[in-house]
Amino acid sequence: GSSGIGYKASINPKMAVYGMLFFCNDCVGGPGGTSATNITAGIAYTTVSNGFVLNGNGEVFSTSAGTTLDLRGAGFYPMKQRKLRGKVYLGAEVDLQMSPSPTTTDIYAGVRWIPKKNVMLDMGVIASSGGTTSLASPVMFRLNIGL
């Protein structure tokens, strides 16, 4: 269980840089383990192709166990709906840990809801990591608020 806060600054309409600070309880050694603080810095690219919203991120993730380089990719498909205010997308995200070896791949699937131009909520309901697949509500939750 980790939670964090971050800041993302636009370079241009398609690119942004970001930094995040995570606080993780029981993350070293599992339940009953010690707490840690993790730091992430990255760059993001977003484009739209044939209705799909596509994201690509490169990031450096620093933990008490060391530093890793991650590449992330995500795709979101807009859903036609009238019941919820704003836009709703079905999506999937892949996280490839590139270093140190061996590499790790995490996959998430879920929903993105954008109720207002400056508010975006991602909620994953399926996660696959290390050969284990989980179905939960939610397995991943991310809230972005623009100023």
- What's the pLDDT tens digit per position in 85-112? 889 999 999 988 888 766 778 888 999 9
Confidence of residue 127 (pLDDT cuts 50, 70, 90): confident
**Interval 60-85 mean pLDDT:** 86
Among 19-23, 56-60, 128-132, which is the least confidently predicted range? 128-132
In whole angstroms, give the CA distance from residue 67 to residue 112.
29
Most confident segment among 13-27, 41-55, 83-97: 41-55
Give one DSSP letter per residue of 52-107, joined into a string. Answer: EEEEEEEEEEEETTEEEEEEEEEEEEEEP-SSSSSEEEEEEEEEEEEESSSPEEEE
Handedness of CA 7, 44, 136, 115 (dihedral sign): positive
Q: Check residue 16 and give its pLDDT.
A: 94
Q: Check residue 125 and give its pLDDT.
A: 84
In whole angstroms, give the CA distance from residue 115 to residue 87.
6
Q: Check residue 1 and give its pLDDT.
A: 55
